[in-house]
Amino acid sequence: MRKNYKNALLFGLGLMLSITNINAQYTNFQDLVLTPESFWDGSDLSGTHNSGIFSSEFISGDITFKNEFDTSWGAPGYWLGGFAYSNITDNTTEGPSNKHSAITGSGENNLPNYLVSTNNSYIKFDLPGNIPNLNEIVITNSTYAYWSMKNGDGFAKKFGGTSGDEQDWFKITIYAYYMNTIKDSVDFYLADYRFTDNSNDYIVDTWKTIDLSSFNPIDSLYFSLSSTDNSMWGMNTPAFFCIGRINETPVSVAEIDENRFELFPNPASDNVYLKSKDLINRIQILDLSGRIVKAINNVNSKEFKLSLSGLNSGVYSIQTETNEKKTTQRLIKQ
């Protein structure tokens, strides 16, 4: 299999992932070589060794993913952190022995490969002179976490409790950074049992798309998992999630200013004004799931007054389309 090994750096908050080719548009991990029903998590000890920890990298598309495997407590060791890749289809076996499996039993669109990530993964885009416009990321639950929440186990509770009324949740928070400054964050619930009607409670078991386009420009992401099920030792819910695809459109630093339209006021409550250097043909408002909640066609103007009536308070993406390009900015509706 294709792997490059270097000295890995553990970045306090997590492990770095870097992009080295600005032509990449998406990564779905199908270029990673695996035999059927297998995974790679560094347990072959092929990484660089230092005090019992083996640090490795694997490459998919133009992205380098870091991994650490710990043998400091003796053989056989364990996957310490970062990323692993897998094509395991077993989504019914419960427990930590099946932690390399996605609950979907496959990658996105039934493709074989996907990533499995530990908590506190850190993605940094290294593009000198360029900034990636990150469009979306596709995620789901690991099989281990799913069945632990569904049924409970010797360590973690059954979500909802015996009655089903306990208001449990398991979520991933994605923090977006630019030049070492946090720009924004979004919460996505991998499980949510807080509904008054228990029939609405859910644990995610399909691939879900999270729209991140409103955060641009960004140069890094940090993933944090949290749960209502905790003890004095930390979170009881298994701290794993899976990634099916990452979409990004790198642009030069100069293009960021050139492409961006004016949007004011922001935050806004009733109306927002758009001003562009180019003639705007179409305007769309999207929610954080990427769903179009409002669209205006045939704008044919460089300036436009956009009504926010009918929209709930929250974070949205405003996307303008000209003859040359599509551009997106974040809007907060008060």
Q: For residues 157 and 150, what is the distance between their CA atoms, to the nearest angstrom?
A: 9
The predicted model gives 178-195 an average pLDDT of: 87
Sequence spans of domains, the chain: 10-252, 260-333
Q: Which two tokens stand for residue 188?
A: 């996505």
Question: Which is more confidently placed, 75 or 258?
Answer: 75
**Strand partners of residue 117:** 83, 241
Identify which of 272, 328, 327, 321 has the alpha carbon closest to the alpha carbon of residue 301: 321
One-letter identity of residue 123: I
Indicate whether 315 pLDDT > 50: yes
CA–CA separation, 156 and 262 (whole Å): 48
Residue 193's pLDDT is: 98
Q: Residue 153 is encoded by which pair of tokens?
A: 């186990």
- At residue 253, the pLDDT reads 45
pLDDT of the residue at 325: 74
Cα-trace Rg, the chain: 21
Q: 3-class DSSP state for residue 272?
A: strand
- pLDDT(256) > 60: no
Query: Quick one: pLDDT at residue 201?
Result: 97
The verdict on domain 260-333 having CATH code 3.40.50.920 is no
Candidates 170, 153, 142; CA nearest to 244 is 142
Residue 149, number of CB atoms within 10 A of its CB = 27
Using CA atoms, how far apart are residues 88 and 305, in angstroms rounded to an integer? 51
The C-alpha torsion from 71 through 77 and 78 to 82, rounded to 10°, is: 30
Average per-residue pLDDT for the chain: 84
How far apart are the C-alpha atoms of 300 and 305, rounded to whole Å? 13
Identify the H or E element spanning 253. Answer: helix 253-259
Instruction: Check whether 2 has a pLDDT greater than 50.
Output: no
SS3 223: strand
The reply to whether omega before 267 is within 30° of 0 (cis) is: yes
Is residue 88 scored above 70 in pLDDT?
A: yes
| Under 8 Å between Cβ of 28 and 245 | yes
Q: What is the pLDDT of residues 25-66, one digit of tens each?
A: 678 999 999 999 999 999 999 999 999 999 998 888 766 788
Q: Which two tokens stand for residue 205?
A: 């078991």
> Tell me: the pLDDT tens digits for 73-87?
998 999 999 999 999
First to last CA, the chain: 51
21-25, 75-79, 205-209: the lowest-pLDDT one: 21-25
Which one of 3.40.190.290, 3.50.50.60, 2.60.120.1350, 3.40.50.970 gives the CATH number of domain 10-252? 2.60.120.1350
Query: Is 252 a residue whose pLDDT tops 70?
Result: no
Weakest mean pLDDT among 23-27, 139-143, 295-299: 23-27
Closest CA to 136 of 82, 239, 222, 216: 216
The model's pLDDT over 118-133, given as tens digits with 9 standing for 90+, comes to 999 888 765 545 556 6
- pLDDT confidence of residue 135: 79
Q: How far apart are CA 116 and CA 170, in angstroms?
A: 17
Q: What is the per-residue pLDDT for 25?
A: 67
